[in-house]
Homo-oligomer: A and B are copies of this chain.
Amino acid sequence: MITYEKDGAAIYRESFATIRAEAAAGLAGLEPVLSRTVVRMIHSCGMVDLIDDVVASEGFGPAAEDALKAGAPIFCDVNMVASGVTRKRLPAHNDVLCTLTDPRVAPLAAELGTTRSAAAMELWRDRLEGSLVVIGNAPTALFHLLEMLEAGAPRPAAVIGVPVGFVGAMESKDALHEHPLAPPHIIVRGRRGGSAIACGAVNALASEAE
């Protein structure tokens, strides 16, 4: 006979209480929207020390929150991110879009000499203005976003930039954070990141409910 907590609401409560206690020092100085975003990012990966690597630009929290309330579409680099956004938390039935498997992407990637992840973003242009961009996987997508902005592309309201991995991930996040044209953004410095952390951030920004 195995004994364990089976009440989903109690599991959430206890999880968030543990995170708030263990990350108390780091959370103390944060505005509420950013605090709950970091808490959910930690929750998604099981690592309290993630907070040491999270950096948000001035005004990121309110910019992302307001955009979602205003109905901004959420552009995701991979389907796994789109799949992890909890639809019932979204404040305005926001569209959650991933164009990676669009049939136009493979030929476009060949034409541009880049990855499919980067090429997929070219299909976002029409609705990029004021959107929430979420890069949970591909450093090339984050680099390509910066190139698009340099070339005069419409400006997202906010960017969650948390690609993961060993080639370009760290560099792409540093590039976003240091770029003069960067929209308000949140990143995780270093190699860590990924779809789950990205979704944790989106789901926190979408609703105050725990």
Contacts and interface: CB of A to CB of B under 8 A. Distances in A.
Interface of A: 2, 4-8, 11, 14-15, 18-19, 43-47, 79-80, 82-84, 113-118, 139-140, 143, 146-147, 164-169, 171-172, 175, 190-196, 199
Nearest to A142: B4
Contacts of A118: 6
A82 B83 CA distance: 9
A21 to B, nearest CB: 10
B15 A165 contact: yes
A146 B147 CA distance: 50
Closest 10 A/B residue pairs (Cβ): A46-B191, A83-B83, A6-B114, A15-B166, A80-B84, A18-B166, A46-B164, A8-B115, A194-B196, A11-B167
A11 B172 CA distance: 14
A163 B195 CA distance: 15
29 contacts: A2-B143, A2-B175, A4-B139, A4-B168, A5-B167, A6-B113, A6-B118, A8-B115, A11-B115, A11-B140, A14-B167, A15-B165, A18-B166, A43-B165, A43-B166, A44-B164, A45-B45, A45-B192, A46-B191, A46-B194, A79-B83, A80-B196, A80-B199, A82-B83, A83-B84, A84-B195, A194-B194, A194-B196, A196-B196
